Amino acid sequence: VTDTALLPSWRQGPTREAVLAFLDAADKLPPERRVAVLDNDGTLWCEKPQYTQVEFMLHELTRAVAERPELAERAEYRAILDRDRAALGQLGLPRVALALAQLHAGITPQEFEARARQFLTTELHPHRKVPYARLVYQPMLELLEALRAHGFATFVVSGGGVEFVRSVSLGLYAIAPEGVVGTAVTYELQRRDGKPVLVRTAQVLGGANEGPTKVANIQYHLGRGPIFAAGNSGGDREMLEYATAVQGPSLALLVDHDDAEREYAYVGKAATFTESESIGAVAKRLGWVVVSMARDWARIFPDE
């Protein structure tokens, strides 16, 4: 693969140059050091107007209530369906999150993934009117390919539910399920007709995969540290810092959503370390490369 063939949807300029220079530098490293980790929401796929998984959970709740109307009497579900912010605030996130997780307690991970895949590939994004699974960033798909062309093992490290992302990771990213690290629930091994069957519980295993937990889970799941990390929010901060705290070539990429016309324009508040420090200042201070969607990407989505 010649580098001129790589990253066709990336415009010529310092960002694309920085990525290509890093890939060339990494060629000199032993293959086992070429590890790349990428956040999912807002880095590989669109996260607006709200997290796709939140849309999925609303969809699942609506479906569950249609089947069992008595569920709507539960305070947490009522508040969600009514979009009652006051009630949600009063109930508190842990209680609301637990209630949502309980919607899928007792089903197998395979059944959960089938529902997630169905949702992602058929339900339409409210603004763009295409299935959610089509709203992956074309330049990031090309970046995954470029990394692999340079011998990298590529992994998704998402704050989202691991099964939710795994349900489509092979098709969308050419990443097998074991290449996805995310927030997980615990499983229970049951017997049905004497055969072992794994079912989901409503209990989250080891906390949400955000911030420092992303780094711990990278070690726990992958057992080797990355030299490339891409993210777009404060939940990716430690992962990006960790990837660049190595000897030799490394690259941290921060996707800046600055394209209101073609995608959305927003600065994840969490992307700044302090309220007073801008995303650009943070990146500059830490030597991260900021990807301007407006400036650096000729195309945003595959269907354009």
Binding site for a second copy (CB under 8 A): 32, 109-110, 153, 155, 162-163, 166, 170, 176-180, 184, 186-189, 195-198, 205-206, 212, 215-216, 219-225, 238, 241-242, 245
Q: Which residue lies nearer to a second copy by CB, 238 or 258?
A: 238
Report, in Å, the least distance between residue 120 CB and a second copy. 16
Q: Which residue lies nearer to a second copy by CB, 15 or 183?
A: 183
Query: What stretches of the chain adopt beta strand conformation (E)?
Result: 35-38, 153-161, 180-183, 185-192, 195-204, 228-231, 251-258, 265-266, 289-292
Q: Which residue lies nearer to a second copy by CB, 45 or 242?
A: 242
Measured between alpha carbons, how far is residue 202 from residues 72, 97, 290 in Å?
19, 9, 37
Report, in Å, the least distance between residue 242 CB and a second copy. 5
| CA-based nearest residue to 218, from 40, 78, 38 | 38
Alpha carbons within 13 angstroms on the beta-carbon side of residue 139 total 23
Lookup: tokens for 24: 């060339």
Amino acid in position 204 = V
d(CA 117, CA 216): 28
Report, in Å, the least distance between residue 109 CB and a second copy. 6
d(CA 207, CA 215): 13
Q: How far is CA 94 from the centre of its chain?
A: 21
d(CA 165, CA 185): 14
Amino acid in position 119 = F
Q: Which residue lies nearer to a second copy by CB, 102 or 203?
A: 203
Q: Which residue lies nearer to a second copy by CB, 161 or 268?
A: 161
Report, in Å, the least distance between residue 114 CB and a second copy. 13
d(CA 145, CA 44): 13
Report, in Å, the least distance between residue 282 CB and a second copy. 14
Report, in Å, the least distance between residue 106 CB and a second copy. 15
Report, in Å, the least distance between residue 58 CB and a second copy. 24
| CA-based nearest residue to 126, from 201, 216, 227, 58 | 58
d(CA 186, CA 191): 17
Report, in Å, the least distance between residue 245 CB and a second copy. 4
Q: Which residue lies nearer to a second copy by CB, 266 or 273?
A: 273
| CA-based nearest residue to 141, from 1, 40, 21 | 40
Quick check: 7 and 298 in contact, CB under 8 A?
A: no
Q: Which residue lies nearer to a second copy by CB, 83 or 192?
A: 192
Q: Which residue lies nearer to a second copy by CB, 63 or 285?
A: 285
